[in-house]
Structure formats: structure tokens, C-alpha cells
């Protein structure tokens, strides 16, 4: 499934290093397991973010999801109807577990939604490459 990612998540280590983590490391677990890439690269980079950055990421995902739901060129099928019913709120995040729980509930172990969220996180964390 890594062919569906905007960039290789390992490239995040060019900007975000685990030794640069200034806050307590949180063990995120909101993504489903993928065989073709390691999700812990994304989790490591997210642990480098401040609470303000986490809220900006949350708002970025909210805006991107809202824009996606406005698109008319998505093929019409049962999956589309199911996907478009899923809500993502813009409510403020107060800690890393709050974002983890919100994303875990949103993704609900769906690998396609997981890829969507990963790509949004990659766009947010590595915007100069995309």
C-alpha cells in the first residue's frame, strides 16, 4: 500500500528526529497495521510536535476532509455514501491522547481511511516536498 503514499514516511526523519522530542513520548496507535511500510515513522514525527502544532494538524485534517466531501467527481457507490457520512470535528485537542483517540475513532481500522490520514499528516509535516 505504500505506493498510495505521497512520500516515503522515512523521509520525515530528514526533518523530525526522535532525539529532538522535547515532550514525553506518546505511543500513538490510531493507524491500522500495514505490511509495506512502518507507521512508527509517522508516530515519531508526531511526537516532535507541540500541542499548538497538534491542534494545527487537527484543523488541517478537518479542512482537508471538509474539502474532500465537497468534491463531485468521486465515483458514486456504497463506499462513497459510507465515507461521506463520517464526520471529523474541528474541536480543539488538549493532549496527544486526545488526537490519538479522535483519529482512531475516525479511521476505525479502515486501511483506506488510514492512508488518507497518513497522506494528510505527510502534507502537514513535510509540505516542502509535496
The DSSP line for 112-125 is HHHHHHHHHHHHHH
Cα–Cα distance for residue pair 11/67, rounded to 1 Å: 27
Cα–Cα distance for residue pair 61/63, rounded to 1 Å: 5
> For the whole model, what pTM was predicted?
0.89
Each residue of 36-71: pLDDT tens digit? Answer: 899 999 999 999 999 999 999 999 999 999 998 887
Amino acid at each position: 500500500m505504500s505506493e498510495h503514499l505521497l512520500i516515503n514516511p522515512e523521509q520525515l526523519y530528514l526533518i523530525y528526529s526522535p532525539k529532538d522530542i522535547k515532550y514525553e513520548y506518546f505511543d500513538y496507535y490510531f493507524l491500522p497495521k500495514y505490511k509495506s511500510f512502518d507507521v512508527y515513522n509517522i508516530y515519531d514525527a508526531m511526537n516532535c510536535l507541540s500541542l499548538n502544532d497538534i491542534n494545527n494538524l487537527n484543523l488541517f485534517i478537518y479542512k482537508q476532509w471538509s474539502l474532500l466531501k465537497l468534491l463531485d467527481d468521486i465515483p458514486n457507490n456504497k463506499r462513497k455514501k459510507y465515507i461521506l457520512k463520517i464526520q471529523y470535528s474541528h474541536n480543539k485537542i488538549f493532549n496527544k491522547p486526545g488526537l490519538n483517540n479522535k483519529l482512531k475513532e475516525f479511521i476505525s481500522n479502515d486501511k483506506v481511511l488510514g492512508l488518507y490520514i497518513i497522506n494528510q499528516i505527510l502534507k502537514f509535516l513535510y509540505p516542502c516536498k509535496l
